[in-house]
Structure 1
Amino acid sequence: MGNNVHLLSEAEDPKVLLLGHFDTVWPVGTTADWPFSVSDGIASGPGTFDMKAGIVQAITAIELLPDASHVSVLLTSDEEVGSATSRDLIEDQARKAGAVLVCEPSADGGAVKTGRKGIANYRVEVTGKAAHAGLEPELGVNAGIELAHQILSIAGLSSTDTSVTPTLLAAGTTVNTVPEYARCDVDARSWTTAALAEVDRAMRVLAPHLPGAVVTVTGGIDRPPFEEAIAESLFAEAAAAARELGLPPLLAVRSGGGSDGNLTAAAGVPTLDGLGAVGGHPHARNEHVDVNAMPAQAALLAVLLARLGERPRAA
């Protein structure tokens, strides 16, 4: 798909899709000064936690199954940048399987993820009018000041469960010129589809405060929310699998970060996320994986896959 290569192994009789990605946030060459290593049971290196170890566990789980003919596997290469080229493929394979297990990193202590915030991204651009900042500033329309008004309005859209955050900001060309152009990027996240849609509507109707200024908003909802109800049936199966293996009770959490599980959950396909490695600090230099926890994680996934293979195909 374009310059992105995605790996798909489609099952003969798909009942569950194992979903993951092999891209990372790290630039080419990072391994030169931060190579993969394992020391005292801790694996470190670019992408180990998010989510190379999850791929290893998924392959191991499949190898543990006496019959894996019901398990499809899809590994994408653009998850970290929004899944633009893989989204249709992800949704199509999810619907075919009727259930999705996402091998993204687990939460603290191996907890799975039964909900994720939806994500919207916007760019707000302001066009004003340039003028000499000292001689005749009154003839200009200051795009920077207009953007400041917009930022305050945008930040006011946040609530207890919804974050709307202006992030990257830019304005002006020279220190002695009234800025004729300014922009900011906005990251919005919420637990529910309704709340994120409300933010989207508010962003679309932003209006200028200064006479002569023009405000343009582009972007929109990138990953819809992964609402908890869609994970209930699969979490019950996973909790039963943990009991079958004699593991501690399985815990579930919600995550503010997004994944391709947002896409499959929003498509109405039962989805359970966070079935990957135990570790910490994704996207950071101290990203790491607890290697000693990997066998139990792989075993849990294998038993869960086996249980789903015994279920009737989802509608």
Structure 2
Amino acid sequence: MTMHQAADVSVEAMIEDLRKLVEVESPSRDVDALTASARAVAAVVESRLGGRAVLVESEAGPHVHWSGGGEPRVLILGHHDTVFPLGTLARRPFTVEDGHVTGPGVFDMLGGLVQAVHGLATLADRSGVEILVTADEEVGSGSSRALIEERALACGAVLVFEGAADGGGLKTGRKGCGTFRVSITGRASHAGLEPAAGVNALVEASHQVLRIAELGRPDLGTTVTPTVAAAGTLDNVVPAEATVVVDVRVESTAEKERVEAAFAALTPCLDEARIRVEGAVSRPPMPESASAELFAVARRLLPGIEGRAVGGGSDGNFTAALGVPTLDGLGAVGGGAHADHEYLVIDAMAERAHLVAGLVHAIRDPRGDEPASATGTDAT
């Protein structure tokens, strides 16, 4: 199947569906907002693909699961939570202008979801396809990981609709990533009258930050970055408590294990100070080998498309770690993820939707028979 052989898609219809999703704000951890968002996602899926999209309740909010029936062959994976708090839409409304769509979540990753649905709608036969749209990817996928892994193993191939890499490339590898929290306990005292009677948690934290920063190995792709620190209560009190939050990115399992062991081995520098470390590299690395087979298919469908390894993590890290072929970055072409200038490129929407159809067909029928195009009310 070549890209031009897929049934056409309506860019106008995709933009309208994207508007529906963006205008239901969906900040992570806001269960009420995410419930409304999940219902909106389910409505778009059902209107374009038919069948029933099931809301899978969780403590983080509802996940959306849809199946085209038949033997599972390919999982379309995404998320509907965003990093933007309620009220962002009032300040930065959904806008279509100068070839771009802007608004909270258009690139990460509501645009990708819409493109995936409309691409699937061009196929008359949607059997073997599942869609899973989770509610907590932006905050670690704690409530969805088991479901993601279950469906990935059942399907045997995963297409992840996170936003594209710079220039529209696919994401063929991802670093493993995680967050560590180092909590330090000292002892308070009067900073003027009895400074030596205290155990200064801020000073201890300063020692630990310097140690932690030395754990990075840029030559191996490992970054260890202290990002947030807090200490103290009043300007005349020796601080009794301090915390340091650290972002970690690794390219290999060996580095994951080394960094986790180094955090576990941290010891205080000051007498009587105590340290507690929480966290891990919770998303394992996604090696480029996990995407090689599917990326080769994408290159046949869309010659010249590039593949890039990136530092950010996604739920594709989990599926790749299971040995399930996984290709990421299939979503919107654009940029500005998590930023006020987030945008989606309209001219790329139809091509990306067609790429979905081509990949799904190739996974289900590696012999290369031509697919039947969708007709009737289900076509977009």
TM band (smaller chain): over 0.9
Aligned length: 307
Alpha-carbon separation, structure 2, partners of 1:203 and 1:19: 32
Q: Are 1:230 and 2:290 counterparts? A: yes
Alpha-carbon separation, structure 2, partners of 1:228 and 1:240: 18
171, 174, 179: which one aligns with 1:116: 174
Unaligned runs of 5+ residues in structure 2 are 1-57, 368-380
CA contact (8 A) 2:136 2:143 kept: yes
- AA in 1 matched with 2:193: L
| Partner SS state of residue 167, structure 1 | strand
Give the corresponding residue for 1:307: 362
Q: Are 1:283 and 2:338 counterparts? A: yes
Q: Are 1:7 and 2:67 counterparts? A: no
Alignment of 1:121-140 (within 5 A): 121-140=179-198
Residue 3 of structure 1, CA deviation: 4.5
Alpha-carbon separation, structure 1, partners of 2:98 and 2:231: 49
- AA in 2 matched with 1:214: R
Identity %: 49
Runs of 4 or more off by more than 6 Å in structure 1? none
| Partner SS state of residue 46, structure 1 | coil
Alpha-carbon separation, structure 1, partners of 2:273 and 2:60: 39
Give the corresponding residue for 1:69: 127
CA contact (8 A) 2:60 2:135 kept: no
- AA in 2 matched with 1:120: G
Alpha-carbon separation, structure 1, partners of 2:333 and 2:93: 20
| Partner SS state of residue 27, structure 1 | coil
Alignment of 1:9-88 (within 5 A): 9-10=66-67, 11-88=69-146
Instruction: Give the superposed CA RMSD.
Output: 1.2
Alpha-carbon separation, structure 2, partners of 1:190 and 1:59: 33
Alpha-carbon separation, structure 2, partners of 1:112 and 1:305: 16
| Partner SS state of residue 291, structure 2 | helix
Alignment of 1:215-294 (within 5 A): 215-243=275-303, 249-294=304-349
| Partner SS state of residue 64, structure 1 | coil
Unaligned runs of 5+ residues in structure 1 are 244-248
161, 165, 172: which one aligns with 1:103: 161
180, 184, 189: which one aligns with 2:240: 180
Deviations 1:74-116 (Å, cap 9, x if unpaired)?
A: 0111111111111111000000000000011011221100111
Residue 138 of structure 1, CA deviation: 1.4
Alpha-carbon separation, structure 2, partners of 1:311 and 1:73: 21
Deviations 1:232-270 (Å, cap 9, x if unpaired)?
A: 111111111114xxxxx1100011111111111112111
Residue 41 of structure 1, CA deviation: 1.6
Alpha-carbon separation, structure 2, partners of 1:27 and 1:135: 45
Residue 194 of structure 1, CA deviation: 1.3
292, 295, 305: which one aligns with 2:350: 295
Alpha-carbon separation, structure 2, partners of 1:37 and 1:173: 44
Alpha-carbon separation, structure 2, partners of 1:3 and 1:230: 29
Residue 174 of structure 1, CA deviation: 1.2
Give the corresponding residue for 2:270: 210
| Partner SS state of residue 130, structure 2 | strand
Normalised TM-score (structure 2) = 0.79
Give the corresponding residue for 1:196: 256
Alpha-carbon separation, structure 2, partners of 1:139 and 1:35: 55
Give the corresponding residue for 1:246: none
Residue 23 of structure 1, CA deviation: 1.0
- AA in 2 matched with 1:260: D
- AA in 2 matched with 1:9: W
Alpha-carbon separation, structure 1, partners of 2:337 and 2:212: 28
- AA in 2 matched with 1:200: E
Alpha-carbon separation, structure 2, partners of 1:138 and 1:49: 53
Alpha-carbon separation, structure 2, partners of 1:202 and 1:99: 35
90, 95, 102: which one aligns with 2:148: 90
Deviations 1:30-87 (Å, cap 9, x if unpaired)?
A: 1112111111221010000111110111011111112110111101111111111111
- AA in 2 matched with 1:77: A
- AA in 2 matched with 1:297: R
Residue 221 of structure 1, CA deviation: 2.0
